[in-house]
Amino acid sequence: SDVLTQPPSVSVAPGQTATITCGGNDIGSKSVHWYQQKPGQAPVVVVFEDTDRPSGIPERFSGSNSGNTATLTISRVEAGDEADYYCQVCDNSDDHPVFGGGTRVTVL
Amino acid sequence: ELKLVQSGAEVKKPGESLKISCKTSGYRFSDYWIAWVRQVPGKGLEWMGSIYPGDSDVRYSPSFQGQISISADKSITTAYLQWGGLKGSATAIYYCARVLGAANIRWLDPWGQGSLVTVSS
């Protein structure tokens, strides 16, 4: 089964760029999806299939994926972006979701 | 409007049974997998299992196989997660979510609001 590794925390000043990584063996060959979870709320997908954004998600959220690392980038960070972020892929053997451990983004 | 609305918070004693629900609306219930995801307070997300309401095909995570049962009622577009005998370790928030995408490219959207289950003697 896939193991996805995320940094536990990332801190960023307002207006700067937050970069959240998701490491996995040959993750570049998989589709990666990203979720934002604010305190007390359910997760919301912010990027799917590596780079696509659902309607309503700001362009400030972007994704990339290559080699052994997928990345979620949040540009011009706002206070409202403070949340936990999870990456997710599908397990090759039985097509079920596998989540990374999550990264807490703190806006300074 | 596409919605998944889950049943409310539950407080149970160890050994008791429980069935929580996920009422869906706004899309063809039979055409999409529904996944259940556990989140222990302060921890990450774990996939528990999924059901395809069209034919009631169910898949379980090995971590939860034998401990839970997932079902669905197409007539009321509702999915269920059930325990026969709860343990204290089941204390968590449980989310249902619709599964989108194709084989090996699946993601979860939208999610229900979550159901908090507390198991304590």
Which residue in B100, B105, B116 has the most chain A C-beta atoms within 10 A of its own C-beta, making it the best mutation to test that interface?
B105
- Per DSSP, which regions of B7-121 are E strands? 10-12, 18-25, 34-39, 46-52, 57-60, 68-73, 78-83, 92-102, 105-111, 115-119
Which residues of chain B does A102 touch, with a Cβ-Cβ cutoff of 8 Å? 44-45
Q: Does residue A1 surpass a pLDDT of 80? A: no
Cβ–Cβ below 8 Å for A97 and B44: no
Cβ–Cβ below 8 Å for B47 and A100: no
Mean pLDDT of chain A: 96
Cβ–Cβ below 8 Å for B107 and A88: yes
Write the residue in A33, A86, A97 that is nearest to B44 by C-beta.
A86
Please name which of A19, A26, A20 lies closest in space to residue A2, comparing C-alpha atoms: A26
- pLDDT tens-digit readout, A44-95: 999 999 999 999 999 999 999 999 999 999 999 999 999 999 999 998 888 8
Distance of CA B109 to the CA centre of its chain: 14
Cβ–Cβ below 8 Å for B44 and A96: no
Q: Is A51 strand, coil or helix?
A: coil
- pLDDT tens-digit readout, B53-105: 999 999 999 999 999 999 999 999 999 999 999 999 999 999 999 999 988 89
Cβ–Cβ below 8 Å for A97 and B47: yes
Distance of CA A66 to the CA centre of its chain: 14
